[in-house]
Amino acid sequence: MLAIECSQRSASVAVGIDGGFAEMESVQSDRRSDDDLLPAIDRLLSRLQMKPTDLTATAVSVGPGGFTGLRIAVAVTKMLGLSLGVQLVAVPSALVAVQSLSVAGPILVALACKGDTFWATRLDLQSIDWTCLDKGELVSAETVNLAGLKCLVADSYLPQSLRTEAALQCLDVVEPRLDASNCLLAGQKMLLNGQTVTPDQLQPLYPREAEAVRLFKNG
């Protein structure tokens, strides 16, 4: 399985062989004019002495996250599905973020923070696997309910008012780990459970309308 995580500024790809983890490669993003995703996949496969035709499945972190990164990652995944016939797995980025977390749930993952709003997804650790309790929604710091949570997963962009409220409730705020190895782990579990999608069904999850789209609509 190939795993692609490009939902955040730090992007990477990973390959798992026989249900395990083989290796990970960073996607360089120094210049936004250059798309390093396909070259990164090529570097990784070459290092493992593999060909694209050796792949049988691809998992992609579908968001929420950055508009450009998600668009490119999903487009490449669709291409692999159509050209190679590999199975496709759409992994919610919230599920990627918690794969290395061992705290008991329920927890709240806050992604795509902007201003006072963020995308909130509730998850729970059932047996040994993390499970999304909802599809997530865009919420504000004033309306989100922290009652009953064991942990809050969020990066440094979490609204300060919510960070303060979490501290008052003695709720730990843990940094999410969004990399391709975690995407691979979540994707392998979803594949085993038959949670695959077709190229037509694969879509990125955008938390908000892209700034470029908004500006275009407004003339």
Are the beta carbons of 171 and 151 closer than 8 angstroms? yes
Tens of pLDDT along 139-182?
999 999 999 999 999 999 999 999 999 999 999 999 999 999 99
What was the pLDDT predicted at 32? 44
Contact 58/2 with Cβ under 8 angstroms?
yes
Q: Does residue 213 come out as left (phi exceeding 0), alpha (psi in the -120 to 50 range) or beta?
A: alpha
Class level of CATH domain 2-93+178-217? alpha beta
Which residues on adjacent β-strands are paired with residue 173?
152
Distance CA(116)–CA(190), nearest Å, equals: 32
Query: Other CB atoms closer than 10 Å to residue 113's CB: what's the count?
Result: 18
Location of structure tokens 């759409």: 90
What is the rounded CA–CA span in Å between residue 141 and residue 165?
9
Q: Which string of b and e fits 127-154 if b means at least 16 CB within 10 Å?
A: eeebeeeeebeebebeebeeeebebbbb
Q: What residue spans define the domains of the chain?
A: 2-93+178-217, 101-174
Report the length, in residues, of the chain: 219
Q: Using CA atoms, how far apart are residues 197 and 89, in angstroms rounded to an integer?
A: 6
User: Taking Cα atoms as reference points, which of 30, 96, 19, 28 lies closest to residue 65?
Assistant: 96
Distance, C-alpha 34 to centroid of its chain = 21
Considering the chain, what is the average pLDDT of its residues?
92
pLDDT tens per residue across span 50-107: 999 999 999 999 999 999 999 999 999 999 999 999 999 999 999 999 998 988 779 9
The sign of the dihedral angle between the CA atoms of 126, 155, 174, 151 is negative
Q: What is the pLDDT of residue 34?
A: 57
pTM of the model: 0.93
CATH tag for 101-174 (out of 3.50.50.60, 1.10.3470.10, 3.40.50.2300, 3.30.420.40)? 3.30.420.40
Run of H or E residues at 139:
strand 137-140
> Which amino acid, one-letter code, is at 3?
A
HEC-encoded secondary structure of 41-54: HHHHHHHCCCCHHH
Q: Which amino acid is at 29?
A: S
Is there a shared CATH topology between the 2-93+178-217 domain and the 101-174 domain?
yes
Residue 22 in tokens: 């083989």
- For residue 128, what pLDDT band results from cuts at 50, 70 and 90? confident
